Structure 1
């Protein structure tokens, strides 16, 4: 098996729970990378609602960063006035995961 791939996505659902277009797209992209590369997928995402902070499913390890401020829903992630603040914990998590995987 090749080295793990790190996927950074603001919104990444638990497999089997994707409901919006972007979440479905991101989940399917991760599955395709896994199939094509034969690699374990490490996912860094934001934690929304009652999502687990860490889970493993379908050969993916999903870690979710706690938002700096509460997020009411997925579309709040992309509000221009909130995006930079919300992106900071995700960036820190992704950097930590990249260092650990190397």
Structure 2
């Protein structure tokens, strides 16, 4: 996503608001919520992993219902939204209007 604010402001907001608020939701099916930023500070990426599609749907619904959502949109502009894995129709219906693209699992492994 495109960073629309000062790089240091974005980093501070990520650490002190976004990550903290998301962690405090104690979503049982959220495994990870991690932000990454390009060296020049112009682009950021969130990588989130969930137990299942229901966990991802809960995360999206909580985000949309929180004050973090408007704070996020002041600082970032989505440029690409990819969803990987076996996703239920309700999550597809929720995310498709926002431009999300979906790719189903084919094979591989994870050592975690």
Which TM-score bucket, shorter chain as reference?
Answer: 0.3 to 0.5
Query: Scaled by the length of structure 1, what TM-score is found?
Result: 0.34
TM-score (normalised: structure 2): 0.32
Larger Rg computed on CA atoms: 2
